[in-house]
Amino acid sequence: MSSAIDRIKGQFLVRRILQGILKTGRLATAYLFAGPEHTGKKFAGFQFGKAINCERGGCEECQTCIQIEKGIHPDVRLITLEPDKKEISIELMRDVQKEAFLKPCLARFKVYIIEEAHTLSEEASNSLLKILEEPPEHTIFILTTSSPQGIFPTVASRCQKVRFVGTTTEDSEDLAKRENEILQFMGPEGIESFRNLRDMAGSRNDSIKIIDAFLIWYRDVLLLKEGAADGIFLKQMRENLQECANKYCAEFLIQMLKRILDARYQLANYVNPVLVMESLLVDLNHLKAQGI
Ligand SMILES: [Zn+2]
């Protein structure tokens, strides 16, 4: 288990996805960390940089981890908007383009964290696209953004997406208060029955509450599946959660969670809530039919 990844707080699914990547060792050339502001996307980028470069998977103690933490590791570089500029300039990306093809100085991988990548200028985006079309083997790009629709689609399509959620869905104090509210959305068998959800999806806010209930439900199921029962929030539903955990494998639950997060993003981007919920329910039922 990577200490560096464990330090990414409030983002259970992100941690799980990144740990999954480390476990398989199948790295993509580019990742897009998308989510609201102040959800720790840049921090997560550095932590992932440690995890893939540290010999102990992100120990937080070795020279590599310490240098990355301090921002002085020669192979892990932050690309960000310069002060008083509105765009990340082509000049900056030209530097990156030259460097990216050189071998790393010390580490296994060169890592470029491009902060708020929707601020890349058109030329800079094209320059990045060129790199991603024929990527150097030893270089990884992590783009972060709070405005994913502002990223060039051709760039976004070459990135593996990792969704960050606003902290409200994971803040434990907030959740404890909301447990009863969440339970109201569920039938006696838990959210698995999808009871009345379609009818309740009238307003955007109600839809977001329902989607958060889904997220919490499947998050808890995944925790039980992995033997971390202490961390579950819906303690009153423990038996139902366990029943659900017995039915599905962890990979399948992660697929469900990813699909639910997509729906949450659609809602945040003002897609019609009834459409979002309907297509979510269809997809979840479809996944369930395939996945057991
Ligand atoms: Zn280390």
Distance 229 CA to ligand 1 centre (A): 29
Reported ipTM: the value is 0.99
| CATH number of the structural domain spanning residue 85 | 3.40.50.300
Confidence grade of residue 143 (pLDDT, cut at 50, 70, 90): very high
| 121 and 177 in a common domain | no
Rounded to an integer, the average pLDDT of 34-58 is 94
Which residue type, as a one-letter code, is found at position 216?
I
Tell me what the pLDDT averaged over the chain comes to: 86
Whether 204 and 267 have beta carbons less than 8 Å apart is answered as yes
**For 174-218, how does the pLDDT look when each residue is reduced to its tens digit (9 = 90+)?**
555 666 666 666 666 666 666 556 666 667 777 887 788 888 888
Domain termination residue (choose one: 163, 180, 211): 163
Structural domains counted in the chain: 2
Distance 58 CA to ligand 1 centre (A): 4
> Which residues line ion ligand 1, judged by CB < 5 Å?
54, 59, 62, 65
Checking if the pLDDT of 64 tops 60, the result is: yes
Distance 21 CA to ligand 1 centre (A): 17
Which residue type, as a one-letter code, is found at position 106?
L
Distance 51 CA to ligand 1 centre (A): 7
Residue-level pLDDT at 12:
79
Extract the runs of DSSP E, i.e. beta strands, from 127-284.
Answer: 139-145, 160-163
Distance 83 CA to ligand 1 centre (A): 32
| 188 and 149 in a common domain | no
| 215 and 152 in a common domain | no
Whether 140 and 21 have beta carbons less than 8 Å apart is answered as no
| 201 and 280 in a common domain | yes
Distance 57 CA to ligand 1 centre (A): 6
| 49 and 8 in a common domain | yes
Distance 202 CA to ligand 1 centre (A): 49
Q: Give the CA angle between residues 63, 159, 49 to the nearest 5°.
A: 5
Whether 218 and 256 have beta carbons less than 8 Å apart is answered as yes
Checking if the pLDDT of 118 tops 90, the result is: yes
| 271 and 249 in a common domain | yes
Which residue type, as a one-letter code, is found at position 188?
P
| 285 and 226 in a common domain | yes
Strands 160-163 and 110-114: unpaired
Give the SS3 label for residue 104.
Answer: coil
Distance 231 CA to ligand 1 centre (A): 27
